[in-house]
Structure 1
Amino acid sequence: MPLKKIMHVEDDESIRTVAEIALTDLAGFELLSCDSGQSALAQAAEFAPQLILLDVMMPQMDGLQTLAALRQLPATEHTPVVFMTAKIQQSEKQQYLDAGAIAVIDKPFDPMQLGETLHQLYNQQPDLN
């Protein structure tokens, strides 16, 4: 099934806006944009995303905590997750991959390439194709 529905979880409004333009206007995805992990948890089941783009550093509930909570929901327990972070240390990236992410995208990201990057990452998942 082709990738159509993405949930983006990001506390920074300016980054959410850029990602929304990149993913909806440029790439044609249906996007649910959430400003916190709590918001994502509240809306995940109803939206049923095919892929989750998740910020690492957020107040109250960070990306790793959000991922752990999303894995407890039947609607998102197997949904591929891509972390997005300004932390670019390899050891930190490995921690996110070890937690279950399929990839880590560095901030700042290229809005013109974001949709294509997510398509490629999604299509590399053997269980989804």
Structure 2
Amino acid sequence: MDHPRRILLIDDDQGIREVARTVLEMVGGYDVETAASGLEGLGKARTSPPDAILLDVMMPGLDGPETFALLQEHPETCNVPVILLTAKTQPADRSRFASLGVAGMLAKPFDPMALSDQIAGTLGWQP
């Protein structure tokens, strides 16, 4: 692959956006764009569809599952793999999120240094 894979990170927490962006760019070699809300993320994803989306579950306004449902409705974004970032790791929550059809789930708080490998592993990307 000649160009770095593009990841869109949608999370309302600025600290998480900054940490994740830094490690994904420096450790993973990804090109990372961020959005602070579901609505902002939808706009960015439709304008320039990324290779994958990291999506926070708990956000004010449009939450992660609602944002994912809207991504699925658009031809530009319906095939982009989405990984949910969630602090809700109970089995009932996990099965509910899995039933949405997302590519995977990562628990928050995440290990920043392992994040790139976790994403690659979830999506079957070669390093």
TM-score in terms of structure 1 length: 0.90
Alignment of 1:92-103 (within 5 A): 92-103=93-104
CA distances 1:55-86 after superposition (whole Å, capped 9, x unpaired): 00000000000000011121110111110111
Counterparts of residues 50-69 of structure 1 (less than 5 Å): 50-69=51-70
1:52 CA drift (Å): 0.8
Q: What are the ranges of 5 or more consecutive residues in structure 1 without an aligned counterpart?
A: 125-129
Q: Aligned residue for 2:20?
A: 19
The structure whose residues are more often helix, as a share, is 1
1:10 is aligned to 2:11: yes
CA distance in 1, matches of 2:118, 2:28: 10
Deviation at 1:103, TM superposition (A): 1.2
Would you say the 8 A contact 2:49–2:76 is kept in 1? yes
Unaligned runs of 5+ in 2: none
Query: So what's the TM-score if we normalise by structure 2?
Result: 0.91
Counterpart of 2:73? Answer: 72
Q: Distance in 1 between matches of 2:57 and 2:38?
A: 10
Structure 1 position 46 matched with structure 2 position 44: no
Matched-pair identity in %: 35
- Following superposition, the deviation at residue 88 of structure 1 comes to 1.2
Q: RMSD of the TM alignment (CA)? A: 1.5
Query: Aligned-pair distance for 1:22?
Result: 1.2
**Contact 1:3–1:122 at 8 Å: present in 2 too?**
no
- 1:114–1:94 CA distance, 2 compared to 1 (3 A): same
Contact map agreement 2:4 2:31 (CA 8 A) in 1: no
Tell me, what secondary structure is at the counterpart of 1:33? strand
Q: 2:122 — aligned with what?
A: 121
In structure 1, how many angstroms separate the alpha carbons of the residues matched to 2:56 and 2:106? 10
Distance 1:17 1:90 in 2: 29
**2:110 matched residue in structure 1:** 109
Q: Which amino acid aligns with 1:34?
A: A
Q: How far apart, in 1, do the equivalents of 2:102 and 2:35 lie?
A: 18
In 2 relative to 1, CA 3–95 (structure 1 residues): closer, same or farther, beyond 3 Å?
farther
Task: Show the counterpart of 1:127.
Answer: none
- Equivalent AA in structure 2 for residue 37 of structure 1: G
Find the residue that maps to 2:105 and give its secondary structure. Answer: strand
